[in-house]
Each structure stands twice: as C-alpha cells, then as structure tokens.
Amino acid sequence: MMKKIFLTYLMLLFLVQISSCKDDNSDREIDEVEDQITKVPLGDPFIMLHEGTYYAYGTLSNDGIAVFVSNDLQTWEVPAEAPAGLALHKSHVWADRWFWAPEVYHVNGKFYMYYSADEHICVATSNSPLGPFKQEVLKPMIEDEKCIDNSLFIDDDGTPFLLFDRFNDGLNIWVAELEDDLIQIKPETMVKCINVSQAWEEVWPRVNEGAFVLKHNDTYYMTYSANSYESLFYGIGFATAPAITGPWTKYAQNPILQKPEDLVGVGHSAMFTDKDGNLRVVFHAHNSKDRIHPRHMYISTVGFENRDGQEVMVIDENFMTPELKK
C-alpha cells in the first residue's frame, strides 16, 4: 500500500534538498516550500518502468536517493515501503554526502543503482526497485579521481558499458566497459566521447554532462546537457556514433531543448519507454526564472525525423508536469 505525502514530510524533504553542485537550501522560508508541493521535486531525474509501475529517482536529499512511484506518469506518491522516501540511505554506502543523479536498471533479477556520491561514481544493488540499495563493496567505482553522472548501457551483444563525466577538462563525457558483475570498471577501456565544442555550450563554459545513450536504426544516440545546471541556458543536445565507443558527432543544430516556453535550466535528461510503447524523456527545470530550487521533474516524448537527409532526434515541447498526490 502507498501512503499519502503529508505536508510536513514534504517540508522536511525540501529543506534537505540539494543541487548537483552542493547548494544548501536549508534557509528557504516555509511559505516558499508550501508553494511547491504540487510538483515532483527531483533534479537529475530518471524513470524506470517495472511490472506496470513507474519509479522516479533523482537528486533531492542529503541522506541518500529519493524514490517516487506512479501508475500513469502524471500523479506520483511516496511508497510506504521506502523509509523516509529513500531507496538508498547513506548508512548503506561508501559516502555520506552529495547524492546525485541516480539511474536504476533491472538486470538478471537484480536492481542496480548507478549514482554519484561525494563527487565519485558508485553502484549499489537491491532485490527491489524501492531498495534498500546497498553497496557490495564500500568504495567508489573509480577511487583515485572525481567523476559524476554515471549511466549504464548494455550493447546488443550483451557487453555492458558505463558512461560518466570526468573533471579532467572541465566536465567531459567518457565511456568504459564494465566487468560482467556490472560493478567494476575496466580502466584500460576508457574512451573520451565528447567535450565542450559548440557555441551554445559556452554560456557557462566547460560543461558536458548527464549522458544517456540509446540505439536507434543501427545508430547510437547520446543525449547530454551543457552549461552549468545553475544557468538559465542549461540545455540538452545530442550526438551520434556508429558504436558506443565512438567516434561521436554532435548534431550541428543543437540544442534540441533549451528555455522552452516558460521553463529555464532544463537538462540532465534520461529516456524510457512507457506502457504504450512510446519513447519518453524525463528532465528537470529550475523552480522559476528567478530561483533554481527546488527543481522540478518534467516528461515529454521523443521522436526521430528526417531533416536534410539526416535522421535527427526531436523532443516534443508539449510537456507533462507530474504532480504529487496529496
């Protein structure tokens, strides 16, 4: 059974909400928090459909990774089975701060959560999409350098890969093969994918982050975000490649989503297929044009169009604004 989201509970969640760059928003006034309880307050959102239920994970709490559930993508609630609304709690993992950008995948009967903690990439596992997710080995996937925003991709031949951001040239996106356990990286396979290289990405320089890859018609499509998440001009672009390891070519007409309608700071997207077989994209946007937090989750549809002889990815600007059940 699911429980309703009580106002006091939401206040506590919002007051510990953090950004992907360590902002502390605990000084927000209570009346400001009350104004935001109708929308899902996730940054860096990810949605997984499993056995008829949608699970949304994202950046929200200082104490771990939050989870919301829905049957229709429109109305969301906190599952009673997740203590304090968390699928992952810091007591079960290596780090104790800065829990960002989770993605959850069901592989061979087990759930794998890839996430960032203390500016390192980590993976935790569970037998349930609601957790508790725990690290089998209490250490990050790459111990000797900072990395964030990890995303799993399993190729057609079953080879698992992890995409992630490195800090060695601003933020840039790399890919590496994983061991069969989906937990350990093969360091010798690391390959750089993309870095800041287009004019639209230079409003707040040196940021390419939040990669997500799918394969369509034998072409690999990578969505990514550019500019700082704090910028009104944070946006989404895409690149294509003949293989997951590249070479990656950015779409010349990027961005494909930036400042749509009244939204600003849109980005850190991920894709999923809904119950009707439609390809969807989930992303966050700023609270308003004047305030970043709490960021909110939005959902749209993704399509592919032929433009000048090139198949391109298109995000529909008719957005769904998911609401919290009260």
Give the tokens for residue 140: 């990050």
For residue 268, tell me if it sits in a domain.
Answer: yes
pLDDT of residue 279: 98
Q: CB under 8 Å to 230, separation ≥6 — which residues?
A: 19, 21, 204, 265, 292
pLDDT of residue 288: 95
pLDDT of residue 98: 98
* DSSP conformation letters of 11-58: HHHHHT-B-TT--B-TT--HHHHHTTTTB---EEEEEEEETTEEEEEE
CB atoms within 10 A of CB 109: 6
For residue 186, tell me if it sits in a domain.
Answer: yes
Strand partners, 194: 173
d(CA 234, CA 266): 6
Average pLDDT along the chain, 326 residues, taken 10 residues at a time: 38 38 34 59 98 98 98 97 97 98 98 98 98 95 97 98 95 98 97 98 94 98 97 98 98 98 97 98 97 97 95 96 91
Give the tokens for residue 291: 């305030």
d(CA 39, CA 263): 14
With beta carbons less than 8 A apart as the criterion, state whether 38 and 94 touch.
no
Q: 44 an active-site residue?
A: yes
103, 149, 177, 209: the active-site residue: 209
pLDDT of residue 37: 60
Helix H, strand E, coil C: the string for 92-158 is HCCCCCCEEEEEEEEECCEEEEEEEECCEEEEEEECCCCCCEECCCCCCCCCCCCEEEEEEEECCCC
Q: CB under 8 Å to 155, separation ≥6 — which residues?
A: 161, 215, 244
For residue 238, tell me if it sits in a domain.
Answer: yes
For residue 116, tell me if it sits in a domain.
Answer: yes
For residue 1, tell me if it sits in a domain.
Answer: no
What is the domain range of residue 91? 7-324
For residue 2, tell me if it sits in a domain.
Answer: no
With beta carbons less than 8 A apart as the criterion, state whether 46 and 282 touch.
yes
For residue 117, tell me if it sits in a domain.
Answer: yes
Q: pLDDT tens digits for 4-19? A: 333 333 433 433 333 3
pLDDT of residue 205: 83
- Structurally, the chain folds into a number of domains equal to 1
Distances from the Cα of 240 to the Cα of 8, 56, 202, 312, angstroms: 45, 27, 21, 9
Q: 209 an active-site residue?
A: yes
Mean residue pLDDT across the chain: 90
Give the tokens for residue 120: 């390192």
By CB neighbour count within 10 A (0-12 exposed, 13-18 middle, 19+ buried), where does 251 fall?
A: middle
With beta carbons less than 8 A apart as the criterion, state whether 160 and 178 touch.
yes
Q: pLDDT tens digits for 113-145? A: 999 999 999 999 999 999 999 998 899 999 999
Residue 267: φ, ψ to 5°: 170, -165
Assign residue 155 the CATH number of its domain: 2.115.10.20
d(CA 277, CA 158): 22
For residue 105, tell me if it sits in a domain.
Answer: yes
44, 103, 119, 201: the active-site residue: 44
